[in-house]
Structure 1
Amino acid sequence: MDLGLENVHVLITGASGGIGLETTRLFLQQGTKVTAHYNTNAASLNTLATEFGSDKIRAAQANLSAEEDVVRLFSNGNSALGPVQVLVVNHAISPPEDVSVVDMTLDRWRNTIDTNLTAAFLVSREYLKQLESAADELKSRAAVVFVGSTAGKYGEAGHADYAASKSALMYGFMLSLKNELVKIAPRGRVNCVAPGWVRTPKKEEKLKDPVFVHRALATVPLKKPAEPWDIATQVVCLSSTAISGHVTGHVVMVDGGMEGRLLNKLSSDQVLEAL
């Protein structure tokens, strides 16, 4: 099926690993031009440039919490590949340590909110600004897709900072932005994809633990974590005006049917007996 994405300029934040890398690859397979943002390591993106050509993908470093870096990211990308038509806000941090609200430092809270939410605001704002001067034909394919999380819907004890940042992104910010984008691009759309557990390199070790897997998937009917491909396909589909042109303001939960967090957990011995 032709998704109508040939030569569309897509900017993907957090493109160098896990979900971002798979999303970048899938967009390139659809014939798009991609500005692939990274923070510290571009090695995986260099591999994609070799595979698809440097005229199709441009790796770009930026600290997305810094206004000047975000302005530079769009300015350089526009100069190289034309105005950004599709924005995928995928970057995020989730501190690995479980810390309750009563013990959480203000520095941790601020760093998570700034990285996940404030940076998303800065990137979205710059996207709107550069779109204002774009030609109407380019505006006709305008779309924003945020990558949220089941933590934003259900919360996550020990990670209130992460859950709060994702919830704000998925609902308050996304639902406001979809009503503002159309003032600049009348057919522009804003949606969100919210994964549950995904088998990424960062989560690989945790997903080797049968006790952890049992707890993580205890309310998931499909009884398996997602693969990055499962998330990437939904992002690309929502970016396509050809197949999602009348879809805006929605959060697509890619969570295997999760119904919530299991609060009354089995002990390790009970889990091992059940396996």
Structure 2
Amino acid sequence: MELGLRGVHVLVTGASGGIGLETTRVYLALGANLTAHYNTQDATLKPLLAEYPDRVQAIQANLANESQVIDLLSNAASQGNFGPVQIAVVNHGIWPQADEPVADMSLERWNNTIAANLTSSFLVIREYLRGLKNATPQQKEKAAVVMVGSTAGKFGEAGHADYAVTKSGMMYGLTMSLKNEIVKIAPKGRVNTVAPGWVGTPMAVEALKDPNVSYRALATTPLKKIATPTDVANQIALLSSNLISGHVTGQVVMVEGGMEGRLLNRPEDLA
């Protein structure tokens, strides 16, 4: 299907792994020009840089650092002759592995997660919108933001309230506010969020080898399967396409196989 993304400049944050890497591949296959952001490792991006030398550039930045975010968006527009970023895919983020209830969580962890996930998303979108102000009317026609939330933002996640709060903030407060602001800059600009559940990234696949983890992940999911990175990447591309989704804005699209909630109690918990 033609999505009208050929030659469109797309920024994907967190592009070096999991959902971000597959999203980068999908956009390149659709003919877009890509700025692939990474934080520390770019090895996974090198094959794409070799395959699409004229259509993808990789730029490093710590997105919790304001000056580095400013430089990222400025360099994305000036390098590679891509022009200003037209579509921003806000995909980066961290998930602290340790289970820490709020009663035991340190302020340091809380602040670090908020900065890495939510404040960084604010900075990326702010600089994207500032760059969009200088775009031509034709470039603004393709304007869109797609954020990557999580089922944790809808259902919460015990032991990871810091992470859940950042995703809720993106999925609801930020999405619903930005949809009303972007049109002041680009009249057809849109803002949406995809919210995956479990996705078969290498780290998740390892965790799901534990049958207890796998059972709890799928117990309320009617499709009885784990999403692939491509499942999520395809939804991102569809939502960003003004040709396909031009009248869709302010939406949170759950990509979780119909998940109804979290399984809280096992049989032994109810004995």
Q: TM-score, normalised by structure 2?
A: 0.97
1:11-160 alignment, distance < 5 Å: 11-51=11-51, 53-80=52-79, 81-160=82-161
Letter in 1 for 2:118: L
Answer yes or no: is 1:240 the counterpart of 2:241: yes
Distance 1:68 1:55 in 2: 27
Distance 1:77 1:128 in 2: 14
Letter in 2 for 1:173: L
SS in 2 for 1:204: helix
Unmatched 5+ residue regions in structure 2?
A: none
SS in 2 for 1:84: coil
Give CA deviations for 1:180-234 in whole Å, capped at 9, x if unaligned: 0000000000000000000101212111111110011110001111000000000
Shift of 1:266: 3.8
Give CA deviations for 1:66-92 in whole Å, capped at 9, x if unaligned: 111001101111012211000000001
Q: How many residue pairs align between the two structures? A: 268
Distance 2:7 2:139 in 1: 11
SS in 2 for 1:7: coil
Percent sequence identity over matched residues?
A: 63
Letter in 2 for 1:235: I
SS in 1 for 2:147: strand
Q: 1:91 to 1:39 in 2, by over 3 A?
A: same
Distance 1:46 1:71 in 2: 24
Shift of 1:263: 1.1
Shift of 1:60: 0.5
Distance 2:44 2:56 in 1: 12
2:223 — aligned with what? Answer: 222
Letter in 1 for 2:164: A
Distance 1:235 1:176 in 2: 19
Answer yes or no: is 1:261 the counterpart of 2:247: no
Answer yes or no: is 1:165 the counterpart of 2:166: yes
SS in 2 for 1:190: strand
Q: Which moved more, 1:203-212 or 1:167-176?
A: 203-212
Unmatched 5+ residue regions in structure 1?
A: 269-275
Letter in 2 for 1:59: A
Shift of 1:55: 1.3
SS in 1 for 2:208: helix
SS in 2 for 1:144: strand
Q: TM-score, normalised by structure 1?
A: 0.96
Answer yes or no: is 1:212 the counterpart of 2:213: yes
Distance 2:10 2:156 in 1: 30
Distance 2:187 2:160 in 1: 38
Shift of 1:267: 5.0
Q: What is the aligned-residue RMSD (CA, Å)?
A: 1.2
2:3 — aligned with what? Answer: 3
Distance 1:42 1:173 in 2: 29
